[in-house]
Amino acid sequence: MKFKKFSILDIKASGSTEQEEVEIMFNVDHIISIKPIRISRPDKLLNGFWIRTTNGKKYRASKIPEELLEVIGEKYQGSVNIAVDSDEQPYQ
C-alpha cells in the first residue's frame, strides 16, 4: 500500500454551504483518476483536483502530493489571480 496525504474540501454537516479543508490519507493504488478543476469558494477561486477512487467516491482536493503533480505535468494547485473586472477578461 502506498499512502499519501491530500487536502480535500469537506462540506460541513447540518446542511450549510461552508467548506472545511481536511487532510486525509489516500492509498494511491485505489485512485482511478485525478482531474484538474477550478474550485469556487466564497472568498476566492482555487485550482484544485477532482479525485475518483475505486469504491466510486469522489473528492475535491485543494492539494495533492508533489509526486502526482509531476505526473500531471503542470502545477495546478493554489489560488487563481482574478482581476477586479473579471467579467471583461477572457477565460484562461
Q: What is the pLDDT of residues 28-46, one digit of tens each?
A: 999 999 999 988 877 778 8
Quick check: 79 pLDDT over 90?
no
* Predicted pLDDT at 47: 85
Cell for 88?
A: 471583461
* Predicted pLDDT at 41: 75
E-strand stretches of 1-92? 3-11, 19-27, 31-40, 45-53, 58-63, 78-79
Task: Give the residue extent of every domain in the chain.
Answer: 3-79
Q: Of 6, 50, 52, 51, nearest to 26 (Cα)?
A: 6
